[in-house]
Amino acid sequence: MTLADDAAVWRLNDRQAVVVTTDFFTPIVDDPYDFGAIAATNSISDVYAMGGKPVFALNIAAIPENLPIEMIQQIFKGGAEKAKEAGVVVAGGHTVKDAEPKFGMVVVGLIDQRKMLTKGGVKAGDYLVLTKPLGFGVTSTAFKRGLTTPDELKEIVDWMKTLNATASMVAVENHLKGATDITGFSLLGHAIEMAEASGVGLRFEFNQIPLTQAALKYAEQYTFPGGASNNALFFGPRVRFADHISQNLRMLLFDPQTSGGLLLAVPARKLTRLLAELAERGSKGWVIGRASRAPGIVVN
């Protein structure tokens, strides 16, 4: 594994290792149950991004003293039921008082070192497959500004509550080596981490990148969260965009994603089978680009 990988891995023996990760954040939706479920899904995702199987978790929570007990119960219920769906036992945790609610998990999993997915596993010629669309950050910020319709909000909530379990399992079964999950550093931020860890360049086709139904609308209204600007400032100098891609559209690729999909590096000979298996198991996979021997990140 590399320094930029998604979770810590501790070797137990020649084959088996423990994989550990943690994440928590403030609410991005109003519904407390959905908040808990999204936070749990996001926390578990890094284990899937490494090709591991999550087994147990510890809650991390900060609770305002004036938050109604019913809301607190719903946050924990959302997290617990999503953990159960993932086959994860919630074995306790820790709670403190704070002015703003926060929730997440420490997640522990098991991993076969021979089948581990890492950011450094991309090879020149690999296809890049994304398993969830982009647009969560720009749409959730639009929601906070009172702009979204119920259907627009429901779409991103449903995606953010979707576990990356199936995509991870299919990747491991097909003996892939390179993967990461797309979260706060955006598609391009995490892609740059993969490219640098693997010593390859990446070429993306903008028109092949899946977007949520309202992403383009809110990109035009520029409802990006502050993290998108931070991502663009930090990662932008390392990306070369085609001239026809407007600034608003470029920002979609710097949009922070909460509980985003996996970005998989797939050898050409395995691509057709992998996409078919994802579809057969009710998951999604979009081919959005390819790794190259030529250095740099290019978006056409």
**pLDDT average per 10 residues of sequence, the chain (300 residues):** 70 91 93 98 96 97 96 97 98 95 97 94 98 98 96 98 98 97 97 96 98 97 97 97 97 97 98 98 97 96
278 shares a domain with 234: yes
Query: What is the pLDDT, as a whole number, of residue 4?
Result: 66
Q: Domain boundary residue among 94, 115, 136?
A: 115
204 shares a domain with 101: no
Task: Give the list of residues 6+ apart from residue 45 with CB closer than 8 angstroms, or none.
Answer: 163, 164, 181, 183, 259, 260
What range does the domain containing 205 cover? 119-299
104 within some domain: yes
164 within some domain: yes
Task: Give the list of residues 6+ apart from residue 214 with CB closer than 8 angstroms, or none.
Answer: 135, 139, 142, 148, 149, 152, 155
In whole angstroms, what is the distance from residue 186 CA to residue 72 CA? 30
101 shares a domain with 57: yes
In whole angstroms, what is the distance from residue 190 CA to residue 262 CA? 10
231 shares a domain with 97: no
Task: Give the list of residues 6+ apart from residue 229 with CB closer than 8 angstroms, or none.
Answer: 254
- pTM of this prediction? 0.95
210 shares a domain with 181: yes
Q: Domain boundary residue among 68, 100, 115?
A: 115
Query: What is the pLDDT, as a whole number, of residue 9?
Result: 87
Quick one: which of 229, 255, 249 has its CA closest to 28?
255
235 shares a domain with 95: no
186 shares a domain with 78: no
Query: What is the pLDDT, as a whole number, of residue 51?
Result: 96
Query: What is the pLDDT, as a whole number, of residue 2?
Result: 53
1 within some domain: no
127 shares a domain with 101: no
3 within some domain: no
Q: How many domains, the chain? A: 2
97 shares a domain with 179: no
